[in-house]
Amino acid sequence: MPELSSRADLLSTIQKLGDDIEQIASQVNPEQAAQPNAFGDWSFKDVIAHLNSWRLLTAARLEAGLNGTEPIVPWPAHLDEDRDIDGLNRWLYESNRDKSLAEIMADSRATIERSAAAIRAMPEDALLQVGHFTWMPSYALGPGVVQGTWEHFHIDHEPEIRAWLARQEASSS
């Protein structure tokens, strides 16, 4: 995990995350990206859309911190990230499944840019002070959300994506 003790660290990490996703997606053609059941029930583009959808929450939290409001989740209020993760992920899948890889990658860039813009605009102490926001009392907003989104890709999904890419490469050789 990268160091996350300054605005520069946060920006570097979120921008590197975007670059890492772009790099991995550049290895996948649109046909491969849409192959069903590549990752359980999901295709490659479904996984990237899933990551994008969760990064919408990262952006919403950062923007709420910037605007002095509480974050508004980017999904219906009846879906709770702590109590119904499967239902929430199902809703996210249904919301994105008809999008093309190009649309999903545009969404990916947009979520990265929204997060980076909020990080650039927010006072550094608001980003880095634990408990600065009452709705996030145990964490510093910037490191908390950037670490979460970084880990979601690099730990939760990237290894499986890289293994799938290796299988794709082996089967085309």
- For the chain (length 173 residues), average pLDDT per consecutive 10? 92 97 94 89 94 94 94 87 86 90 96 98 96 94 96 96 92 76
Q: What is the pLDDT of residue 124?
A: 95
CB 145 within 8 A of CB 62: yes
Residue 143 domain-assigned? yes
User: What is d(CA 73, CA 81) in angstroms, rounded to the nearest whole number?
Assistant: 9
Residue 85 domain-assigned? yes
Closest C-alpha among 102, 107, 97 to residue 26 = 102
**What is the residue range of 134's domain?**
7-172
Q: What is the pLDDT of residue 80?
A: 83
User: What is d(CA 85, CA 135) in angstroms, rounded to the nearest whole number?
Assistant: 20
Q: How many domains does the chain have?
A: 1
Residue 1 domain-assigned? no
Q: What is the pLDDT of residue 140?
A: 97
List the CATH number of the domain containing 99: 1.20.120.450
Residue 125 domain-assigned? yes
CB 74 within 8 A of CB 60: yes
Q: What is the pLDDT of residue 74?
A: 85
pTM: 0.93
pLDDT in tens, 110-138: 999 999 999 999 999 999 999 999 999 99
Residue 2 domain-assigned? no
